[in-house]
Structure 1
């Protein structure tokens, strides 16, 4: 499965999310960004089911974290769904926002150079997953890639 990043963000951060999306696409990654999705007129359980189906089609979730994110119900929910599905996780911290404690477990980005490292490690981890599947380790391939991605990206970003 090629790398496809679900960009989770609060509506007020749509411009930042679009810039991140464009940068990742320029680095060879596919992106799902809801601002270009015409089916998001749904609400309640229908919207939740739709978002789950879109996350299922993605290999990763990148959450845009800003001062506005604290008022979001959807961003934490999407992070929870992605965790449940063993999607590679990271956050892009915008402005002067701080990373919520529960997200410090995963890599967090702040700059374009960090996005470049994210793209590079994403491709590397997906190759590892594909390699493990080809060698017959399908049941553990995604979990192995999940751990490798987080470990190598945190090392590249010099994060504990």
Structure 2
């Protein structure tokens, strides 16, 4: 599973009544956090998020998913631009910060 996550560039945790108590969710979030990947959570319907997932932007509707997609595209462009003059690690950290700023602004969080 860790190898599969190593090829990702971001993580969206889709939380349902069945997955919100899964121990895999916090583990996957931890791996993504170590790698400075952008993280967001989607909880549709009447699912309430566990408190620890409220640290990251959370999506509740399809328009929120659209905002996530736009912030993701922007972050990926910024990452590619920054890699020309920064290390991959620093470029990833900076573009992830931009992702959170843009997405939280769009979601008013």
TM above 0.5, yes or no, is yes
2:82 matches 1:137: no
Report the Cα distance in structure 2 between the residues aligned to 1:137 and 1:102, rounded to whole angstroms.
31
Give the one of 10, 21, 36 matched to 1:86.
Answer: 36
Q: Secondary structure at the match of 1:63?
A: strand
Q: Secondary structure at the match of 1:62?
A: strand
User: Deviation at 1:112?
Assistant: 1.0
Deviating runs (4+, > 3 A) in structure 1?
A: none
**Which sections of structure 1, spanning at least 5 residues, go unmatched?**
1-50
Report the Cα distance in structure 2 between the residues aligned to 1:121 and 1:52, rounded to whole angstroms.
25
2:30 matches 1:98: no
User: Deviation at 1:103?
Assistant: 1.6
How many pairs are equivalent? 108
How is 1:1-160 mapped onto 2 (pairs within 5 angstroms)?
51-134=1-84, 136-138=85-87, 139-159=89-109
RMSD of aligned Cα (Å): 1.2
Report the Cα distance in structure 2 between the residues aligned to 1:74 and 1:106, rounded to whole angstroms.
17
User: Deviation at 1:70?
Assistant: 3.2
Q: Secondary structure at the match of 2:55?
A: coil
User: Deviation at 1:63?
Assistant: 0.3
Normalised to the residue count of structure 1, the TM-score between the two structures is: 0.64
Normalised to the residue count of structure 2, the TM-score between the two structures is: 0.92
